[in-house]
Structure 1
Amino acid sequence: MKEPVRAERLNEATLGGLETVLRAACGMVLAPSVRRSLGTALTRAAEAQGLPKAEFLQRLLARDTSAVEAFIGYAVIGETYFFRHPEQLRELGRLAAASTGPFLVWSAGCASGEEPYSITMALLAAGVSTDRFRVLGTDVSGRAIARAQQATYSPWSVRRMEPELERRFLQIRPDSVNVSPEVRTRVELRRHNLVTDPPPVAGAQAVFCRNVLIYFPPEVIPGVMERLVAALAPGGWLFLSPAELPFAQGLGLEEREVEGQLILRRPLPGERPPARASRPGPLRLVTRAPSPLRRTQPTARVAPVSKAPASQEAALPPPPPPTAGSSLVATLEQARAAVRDGRFDAAEELARLAARELSPEAYLLLAMMAEGRGDVQGAVDSVRKALYLEPQLAVGHAMLVALYGQLGQPEESERARRNALRALEGLDDEQVLRGVEELTVGGLRRALVPGMKQGKSGAR
């Protein structure tokens, strides 16, 4: 039996050096869980190269090409599984089936291959003939591509698949799962660096880049997004994870809602994207920052929530008053709509009505209103009422991180951060949390990373 790898804990200087190597090589900023695993990655990469760890580390920090490549292979392969965000894959199948001509799909940052294989399965399940489509999967890690080419996975990777698709496209064994040749032959796998390399395709009908952008530093993301859009044919579709949609702001893409999720389309020449309210930027939670539910634009900070100018308030119709039979959900939705329209007085009135029904979400909305007026202590009080009703409300604890930071109470801010992380323990990254705005477990968990600072380019 193979001995488990025992990796000693690396000091901060060594960790910083390793992160610098990764950032220079592939533009990635590591999540805390990945950072903690760098010691194991270093040990495994040294073993693969047949070198003592100290010698391998020396070569790695000196940017030796073979050492860097080996290290990337063990350090940046993300966790994935088959049929992640299945509603997007179903929509892809519908789009391809309704189209004519060749259908090219690029899976960018495909890790160990579950995504491009899932894309192929979705197209086949939708009745798209094998001679009409091609799927390209790319990743910066040669080791990840090698694993994808083997197309052999653990049963855990297929935990989200529908039984019918599993029976049709997979060969199930007691301890492993193999992708069928029908699927494998339609997928091309290739190494590619999203940060430094030009797009590997042109004129794609669809591009998938999900749960990849969140690992890049803010100054890198716009260039990556431009290359993703450039790879699309006019009328082509871009699929991002829910947490990454704000990065597409300002690129002139259309939005379509599919089963509660948004997908993006590159307009045809001469088309104009439909007018819509600008989408807020990515959530970043920092000390001494606005509430984490008030998001920031990628290039400039949004003005704090405050009362709209009188002319704007007069130009917008008032919300329909809740009737005696109105549900709590309907009242909260009216309050959210009022916020989106800039009718903050109406939003606060509706939130107070919902709060009478002991709704934690209503108190979170009242906290946003209070903070917008500059009443930070009032915002804290409203969040604490929400937490009294729902002690495990992760978004509430997260809001307190920023609010206590504004009040100059770092110990309380840190305690709130730990409470928020505890409330997220055991939850799937894709689960949508209770709160005022849609926010996933994974998005909030990443936002709670300590030590992030806000600069002109956004959170760092």
Structure 2
Amino acid sequence: MKEPVRVERLDEATLGGLESVLRAACGMVLAPSVRPSLGTALTRAAESQGLPTADFLQRLLARDTAAVEAFIGYAVIGETYFFRHPEQLRELARLAPAHLGPFLVWSAGCASGEEPYSVAMALLAAGLTPEHIRVVGTDVSGRALERARRATYSPWSVRRIEPELEKRFLSIRPESVSVPPEVRARVEFRRHNLVTDPPPVSGAQAVFCRNVLIYFPPEVIPSILERLVRALAPGGWLFLAPAELPFAKDMGLEEREMEGMPVLRKPVPGERVSTRASRSGPLRVLSKTTSPFRRVQAPSRVAPASQGQAPVAPPAVPAARVAQAAPPSPPPQPPAGPSVSDALEQAWAAARAGQYELAEELARLAARELSPEAYLLLAMVSEGRGDVQGAVAAVRKALYLEPQLAIGHAMLVALYGRLGQPEAAERARRNALHALEGLDDEDVLRGVEAMTVGGLRRALAPGVRMGKSGAR
């Protein structure tokens, strides 16, 4: 078995110093639930430089440029996947064909590149001429951008993509997924700091900056939004994550409705701002296949994000924004083995790398401490292997420990659907909605991936199809 990465246990003073380094370098502020992940980032960055952790930490706190650069590469790396928030990509695909000439999109805080590639695929599927498509992905982490340019991912990055899209746009192998040249040719990557650098493009028809703003301090967010809006052409569209929309309330943008969710548009000077809601239709893929996009919000995860998705943290639940409840902290005395949060963090990293045996072993360690999140992760690993019955059993164990775990009930909706048990799926849907009663839409739910209450409510609406491990 591959040896898990050793996690440094840091005192509050050291954690505060590391956070100061991140804030000075790229403006990021970490949610409390993800602070412990800085120990892992410190260890990995030190190893990448061939230095003992103590020596590397000394250089880092002294703001040595090379040390800071290496640390950012491990502490600010976003976990994302293809076709996240597919309803926004459908809207982009609906709007794009009406535009004449080149179609420019900026993907800000793109992490390892799945988002800009997804944008390019959506535009190609909508029938835009390839030569007219230009997508610019930016991030503060040079390490993340290197991975994006390689365009090779683990199967974990396509855990919620539709089979039709896999067949048309991705090269699928047992151990890897790669983006074909026709898509890569449409995307370029640049190093960019959202806090300090001017916009890298101008006149964009769309800007995506999703699951990024929530990791910046409130006083910094308006200036970042100003840069995003400045990059848009008049009439261009700004796509934020659902929980980040309130940040743009005073930016002078026009708000329209898309599948029950607001979207933001930069008004054209002199035009009368419309208050009418517009509803997008299904994406028409110009091929023999039908539209691959599901009409539902995809879950997203709180993890170190490049430029704005925070550092890899213990798993927590589908599409989040803000600090979320983490598993209980281990007691101060040295534990016999890894803590629950350490085991979950390492398990999640292994699952993302496609190392399912390692992920399962680590998740089982956490499950011994009766962690509901550990059982949800075990369910995802089982589902990834095609063991749907095993996934159901793992989710039911999580719900035994925490009956009001809404994400667990939502996962059962999808799993029972795959098993051809519509009555059980409907019962799970009602249970999930019951668990959400009395919660605010902006609250972040507990689970393995991060998701807001409002996002899950929309995904559980009658008639909405649930994808793998929950809502698409």
| TM-score interval, smaller chain | 0.5 to 0.7
Per-residue Cα deviation, 1:35-93 (whole angstroms, up to 9, x for no partner): 11111100100111111111110111111111111001100112211000111111111
* Aligned-partner residue type, residue 264 of structure 2: L
Computing the radius of gyration from Cα coordinates, the structure with the larger value is 1
Q: How does 1:61-460 map to 2 (within 5 A)?
A: 61-274=61-274, 393=435, 396=438, 424-426=446-448, 428-429=450-451, 432=454
**Could you give the per-residue CA deviations for residues 309-329 of structure 1, whole angstroms, max 9, x where no partner exists?**
xxxxxxxxxxxxxxxxxxxxx
Is the contact made by 1:106 and 1:204 (CA closer than 8 Å) also made in structure 2? yes
In the TM superposition, 1:27-66 aligns within 5 A as 27-66=27-66
Kept after mapping to 2: 8 A contact 1:139/1:193: yes
Residue 262 of structure 2 aligns to a residue in which SS?
strand
Gaps of 5+ in 1: 277-281, 287-359, 361-388, 400-419, 439-460
| Inter-partner Cα distance in structure 1 for 2:101 and 2:71 | 41
- Structure 2 unpaired stretches of 5+: 277-319, 325-403, 405-430, 461-472
1:99-119 CA-to-partner distances (Å, cap 9, x unmatched) read 101110000000000000000
Cα distance in 1 between the residues matched to 2:169 and 2:184 = 10
- CA shift at 1:34, angstroms? 2.7
3-state SS of 2:87 partner: helix
**Matches of 1:176 and 1:257, distance apart in 2:** 37
Secondary structure (helix, strand or coil) at the match of 1:432 reads: helix
CA RMSD of superposed structures (Å): 3.0
- Following superposition, the deviation at residue 424 of structure 1 comes to 2.3
Q: Is the 8 A contact 1:83 1:89 kept in 2?
A: yes
Q: Does 1:9 align with 2:9?
A: yes
Deviations 1:203-247 (A, max 9, x none): 101000000000000000000000000000011110001000011
Asked whether the equivalents of residues 394 and 424 of structure 1 are also in contact (C-alpha less than 8 Å), the reply is: no
Structure of higher RCO (CA pairs closer than 8 Å, 6+ residues apart): 2
Letter in 2 for 1:244: E
Q: Please state whether the residue corresponding to 2:79 is helix, strand or coil.
A: coil
**Alignment partner, residue 349 of structure 1:** none
Aligned partner of 1:18 in structure 2 is: 18
CA distance in 2, matches of 1:189, 1:246: 28
CA contact (8 A) 2:433 2:457 kept: no
Query: Which amino acid in 2 is paired with 1:87?
Result: E
Structure 1 residues 164 and 210: alpha-carbon distance in aligned structure 2, compared to 1, 3 A threshold: same
The C-alpha deviation readout for 1:143-163, integer Å capped at 9, x for no partner, is 010110111111111112111
CA 1:36–1:396: 2 relative to 1, 3 Å: farther
Question: Measured at CA, do residues 186 and 56 of structure 1 come closer, stay the same or move farther in structure 2, by a change above 3 Å?
Answer: same
* Number of residue pairs aligned between Structure 1 and Structure 2: 311
SS at match of 1:7: coil
What TM-score do the two structures reach when normalised by structure 1?
A: 0.63
Match of 2:307? none
Q: Distance in 1 between matches of 2:134 and 2:223?
A: 25
- In the superposition, the TM-score normalised over structure 2's length comes to 0.61
Counterpart in 1 of 2:283?
A: none
The alpha-carbon deviation at position 97 of structure 1 amounts to 1.1
SS for the counterpart of 1:82 is coil
CA distance in 2, matches of 1:256, 1:392: 29
Distance verdict in 2 for CA 1:283–1:141, change over 3 Å = closer
Deviation string 1:382-403 (CA, Å, 9 cap, x unpaired) is xxxxxxx99973564789xxxx
The answer to whether the 8 Å contact 1:393/1:434 transfers is: no
Aligned-partner residue type, residue 183 of structure 2: V
Contact 1:139/1:145 (CA < 8 Å) preserved in 2? Answer: yes
How far residue 428 of structure 1 moved from its aligned partner, in angstroms, is 4.9
Q: Which amino acid aligns with 1:22?
A: L
Q: Distance in 1 between matches of 2:129 and 2:456?
A: 41
Say if 1:395 and 1:435, in contact at 8 Å, map to a contact too: no
Q: Does structure 2 retain, via aligned residues, the 8 Å contact 1:206–1:236?
A: yes
Shift, 1:98, TM fit? 1.5
More displaced 10-residue stretch of structure 1: 259-268 or 125-134: 259-268
Once residues 434 and 116 of structure 1 are traced to their aligned partners in structure 2, the CA distance between those partners, rounded to angstroms, is 24
Amino acid at match of 2:435: L
Taking structure 1 as reference, are residues 172 and 33 closer, same or farther at Cα in structure 2, changes over 3 Å only?
farther
